Structure 1
């Protein structure tokens, strides 16, 4: 090769490399997805591969076929556990109707709120009779509106929710990896999806969205995150654990407390459920695997237990408080944040989100904090929808 041609060859190679880095990974020959619940249990040999790559997929049915969606898919994709072990995570992909823009459909990765920690509670398993239906379909009107506005919408189930292993509930990095990796998986399945994405989430998903936004640049560097919207995010979990002794009446909050302990044990071997929980609470723990939030908050489950009866007297809370303290989503995020909070929220009280807002500002995050007087925890996604629609359009330059 002559010296005159060498720079041209180098330039062509560089362009090819850059193009490959910003495009979805070329799919390998994927096996056919099995029917039923076998979909969520792939053989171990299929777990190896790039995180965010697709294991298999199948058409979504029933309530998962949202209004405004041209295609709806349930996907099983690869991710990584907290220890770096290859795992499978499930989720749902919705593609809007119409013709994609030149840069591909902009993407909103939705991080769902608490549904439970057992496999039946996975949102990709939703149906009118599923155990967690009311804790999943309440945001379908908002997700459908996003589709009708020309956004692809994707939703992870999170690690261990539907798939093998326990769900690390409120363990931020685990959740964040699921939220980010499904963007890669969706783009592999649907080449018409662009590389720009926003993240949004509520409650558990509000916390997950903040962690996902904080790690996205390093975890999925070929993608471009444009913003994060967090509705009533779980925060200051360790501080709340310290307060449970003050609540002496039976409360649905006990279900959340049990799930926090379950998630902490899934997130660290230093946290032992049997060593931490009082006998009445320990006796109810098997219900977490077979029931979802609507059943767990009932009087015949954790809803009939006072929060002050969750923890054993004299239990060593050190490892639990250390781990949950690290899950506070006061993280550095390089993109604009929309934070929305209901003034009448009894699940994530406003003072905790006020405190979180101050912590995010102290990190010089670009924060737009909105408070909605009289709005409860479950009402905040709908209440914030008009502001979100304007905000997300600006993030994608669609003013």
Structure 2
């Protein structure tokens, strides 16, 4: 389908029924993107709806952004950007962002980096991920789902813009760092026509199963509890047999049903949501000994980003990051190095990062931008 057929407004994100035949990565439709979701340094911004496939082998649609540079770099290389945690609400999706959107504060954070990429001549594609903006649950931190979304949007962009090359780098922050590492792992089989030159993962999410175990042991309220329902929605998307009623207390289940569809991660951490419930009040007393608890753990452990990669992995971490702790990232790097060899894993750390109105967790993007641009130029030049 072509952009001329794209419906406007929220209808853009609703796929035609039945879904047209095609391959993963085929665009359904595209249309001009304006407003705060658009990248200021792009020659053109488009939102795109494209085919993908969930981890159960079923066809789905995913949305995202395609931004073309004003002055393309030689060879028309592409950078696929994987965003950090925004929540699971459709209106939190980056391509649906508005000034008063639930995740606006987080969605604008990578714009500085992306605009620098565009100024350097790179086409940038930015997936919303499965189930963010589009129908269905968001498989939060389910690596294969993230990887498919990150890679399939490159296919969609190249179909819509045939001048774009198959030379691709993946950059991702936080949840997106997790996604970027899994994209490196899955790319050879999922998108074999692409030449992935390397991956940079900023403060990648890892060892989430540990958080799932620890949060329900906390006898206090804390904003980090807002991540707990996201762990659950991701696990259920990967394993629909998980029964949340058997896991959660009545209060926690009520909050989950009410808030997951509408609140950003920041919203989930507010006092009137999961930020106002004791960690010890999340799970039923008998849940830890039950099968559903073990199923959630199994999903989270299976999606820890300790995976093989045929391309170089560059991991970047601020040592003062209060969200993704340096000790966690260092352990991940050690495991990735053991699996892939020291020549294929680079670890970049910063004692301090640029001031950021939200957190040093985001400041690492600004601090590492010059090094990222130098790394990209070197990796693309090898082609």
TM-score range (shorter-chain normalised) is: over 0.9
Q: Identify the range of structure 1 (358-367 vs 271-280) with the bigger mean alpha-carbon deviation.
A: 271-280
Does structure 2 retain, via aligned residues, the 8 Å contact 1:72–1:92? yes
Q: Which residue of 1 aligns with 2:80?
A: 109
Change (3 A) 1:67 1:308: same
* 2:145 aligned residue: 174
Shift of 1:291: 1.4
Change (3 A) 1:205 1:29: closer
Structure 1 residue 119: Cα displacement: 0.8
Give the deviation of 1:47 after TM superposition.
Answer: 4.2
1:6-54 alpha-carbon deviations (Å, 9 max, x no partner) = xxxxxxxxxxxxxxxxxxxxxx667600011111111232343110011
Matching residue of 1:379:
363
Between the aligned partners of 1:160 and 1:335, the Cα distance in structure 2 is 28
Deviation at 1:86, TM superposition (A): 0.8
Work out the CA distance in 1 between the residues paired with 2:215 and 2:72. 52
Q: Which residue of 2 aligns with 1:243?
A: 214
- Measured in 2, the distance between the counterparts of 1:65 and 1:236 equals 33
Over 3 Å counting, the alpha-carbon distance change for 1:244 and 1:34 in structure 2 is same
Supply the distance in 2 between the matched residues of 1:295 and 1:37 (Cα, whole angstroms): 21
Aligned residues: 370
Aligned to 2:165, the other structure's residue is in SS state: strand
Q: What TM-score comes out, normalization by structure 2 length?
A: 0.93
Corresponding position of 1:18? none
Q: Post-superposition shift, 1:175? A: 0.8
Q: 1:207 is matched with which residue: 163, 178, 195? A: 178
SS at match of 2:166: strand
Shift of 1:309: 2.5
Structure label with greater radius of gyration: 1
- By how many angstroms is 1:59 displaced? 0.1
For residues 298 and 278 of structure 1, the distance between their equivalents in structure 2, rounded to whole angstroms, comes to 19
Alpha-carbon separation, structure 2, partners of 1:332 and 1:56: 34
Query: What is the alpha-carbon distance in structure 2 between the residues aligned to residue 227 and residue 378 of structure 1?
Result: 22
Shift of 1:272: 1.9
User: Which residue number in structure 2 is paired with residue 14 of structure 1?
Assistant: none
Residues 258 and 310, structure 1, Cα contact 8 Å, conserved in 2: no
Matches of 1:133 and 1:252, distance apart in 2: 18
The match for 1:17 is none
* 8 Å CA contact retained: 1:117, 1:161: yes
Partner of 1:117, secondary structure, is coil
Whether 1:194 and 2:165 are equivalent positions in the alignment is yes
- Report if aligned partners of 2:78, 2:165 keep a CA contact under 8 Å in 1: yes
Is the partner of 1:378 in helix, strand or coil? helix
Q: Are the equivalent residues in 2 in contact too, given 1:100–1:192 (CA < 8 A)? A: no
Q: Which residue of 1 aligns with 2:318?
A: 342
Which secondary structure state, in structure 1, belongs to the residue aligned with residue 168 of structure 2? strand
In structure 1, the residue matched to 2:39 is 66
Which residue of 2 is the match for residue 310 of structure 1?
A: 282
1:374 to partner: Cα distance: 3.5
Structure 1 395/173 Cα, relative in aligned 2: closer, same or farther at 3 Å? same
Q: CA RMSD in A?
A: 1.6
1:162-218 CA distances to partner (integer Å, 9 max, x unpaired)? 111111111110111000000000111112211100001011111011111110111
1:395 is matched with: 379
Distance, in Å, in 2 between the alignment partners of 1:147 and 1:398 is: 20
Which whole-Å CA distance do the structure 1 matches of 2:375 and 2:281 have between them?
A: 43
Aligned equivalent of 1:3: none
Q: 2:45 & 2:4 partners in 1: Cα distance?
A: 19
The match for 2:238 is 267
Q: Is 1:52–1:79's contact at 8 Å kept on the other side of the alignment? A: yes
1:351 matched residue in structure 2? 327
3-state secondary structure, aligned to 1:109: strand
Secondary structure of the corresponding residue to residue 384 of structure 1 = helix
Equivalent residues of 2:68, 2:118 under 8 A apart? yes
How far apart are residue 279 of structure 1 and its match? 2.4
Q: Give, in whole Å, the separation in 2 of the partners of 1:99 and 1:353.
A: 34
CA distance in 1, matches of 2:205, 2:142: 11
Q: Give distance in 2, aligned partners of 1:274 and 1:146.
A: 45
